[in-house]
Structure 1
Amino acid sequence: IDLEKLMAHRKETGSIMGFEGATDLPTREAALELECDILIPAALENQITRENAPRISAKIIGEAANGPITANAEQILEDKGVMVIPDVYINAGGVTVSYFEWLKNLSHVRFGRMGKRFQSGAYDRILNIVESQTGRTLTKAERDSVARGAGEADLVYSGLEETMITAYNQTREIMKSNEKVDNLRTAAFVNAIDKVALCYMELGIFP
């Protein structure tokens, strides 16, 4: 769908219905039942229930909204072999970046400030060696793409990616290794509770 044309159509008619080349659905809920590989309910809770769960065709559902799948519906989806990536994991990105912001506020120094120039200089020296050994002079664009030091946004995105990948791998490993855990939601809860328990034990709070 050409989004610019769609927005122009909406501005002209006041609706996205009747857009040329698209198929109108009878209800917004019908969109959940369209044939697809990945379904991402991202707005409202309780959108997939035991009534419409049997008609969901997606192989993977990512809960971008809070609680878009009811407990009864999740059991139906699980029996069908649908992988549900839970909201408690998918929505953790925002909280993770808020934690990074809290750390930055504690130090009163933005991420990357201490090392950016050093990194840039080190990369420059490496590129100089590459040029001298190969006899090829890099263009300014090539040099800039490699030699620039990591800025604040670069480090935040890198930290977020590392955190989310690590959390998913830990959660998936719990699901695979514990026969009592048969879905990612339960595995995510086990992972979280284990971490809280470990912190309590290390701090001497428990037992």
Structure 2
Amino acid sequence: MSDGMSLLETVYRQFDQAASFTDYEPGLLQQMRDCNAVYHLRFPVEMDNGNVEVIEAYRAEHSYHRLPTKGGIRISPHVSADEVVALATLMSFKCALVEVPFGGAKGAIVLDPRSPDDVRRRVIRRYTAELSRKNFIGPSVDVPAPDYGSGEQEMGWIADTYRHLRPNELDHWACVTGKPVTLHGIPGRSQATGLGVCDGIMEALGHGDDMQALGLTRGLEGKRVIVQGLGNVGSNAASHLRECGARVVGVAEYEGGLYTEDELDVEAVLDYRAATGSLHGFPGATWIPSSAETIEQDCDILVPAAIEGVITSENAARIQAKVIAEASNGPVYPDAEPILAERGTLLIPDIYLNAGGVTVSYFEWLKNLSHVSFDR
């Protein structure tokens, strides 16, 4: 991370910069900035080998100005309390921006997301039980959702655990969103964030004056795109961008990346990586052994959909993209922004661009509260 700046420090710095343009009282600004509550959990779980390990986990609730609070659960061996607070803070601002009536929250479990299903199931169920005991989860209190390392399977485990812990609660299915459709989820939720990224880019590229300044034509047709991160958000964004006429010329993951002057078959790339566990060796494209080097290749649009802090003052001058679309949270650090602005790069911010997931989660939550089915 550039200059040792954490994601939380970045979020606070951006907030303070924005706050300087307002005339709100300092106390009110501090209330809007600071996190209301952070729950730090430690609980024992039996592993597949019979050993007992103590699992560390978190749940941060940033703002109670709207209830319930809302935010995903991240599963990663490297997550920290500060990171969870930062992400919860961004959720508050994101929900306010798109006018979804939630406060911001975020959760995390310090665990390898590639752990066996049985281990993850035991950890998730215990995590849910601990949150329930402290009233940190519930349809009107705090509603989790998927995030990095978690998906609809994990959300299904949470819903099932909560249902058994609160059998008399009529709206128990509304305790979590991002569930499988068979467990009262909503069709299209898993694609929502990636589709929202695509729609947000299309909207930005529809402004003729901005595109003329960048030397681009309006719309996605023929635009060269590099996507970093092929998880739920990145893979869906890449697929939808290609369907809308863009040319995906590069993709990157933690092991490295692929680049071509022509166009990648996104579905073939995803199938290849699912089968082999790596992008390396995919035919018809140049292998680049560094994800950081891949995002510096020539393109019109760069979509960082992996982790935070991938564009800093150290590499901003080497980014050739004319448009950077922040599909992940905090991929561009503040010290890189003046460099990008001087180069004329258009930056589409994360709290706007990746809000598709929480928007559709809102409709899933409403569906579970009203006990009716919605169409896709």
Q: Which has the larger radius of gyration?
A: 1
Measured against the shorter chain, the TM-score band is: 0.3 to 0.5
Report the TM-score when normalising by structure 2.
0.27
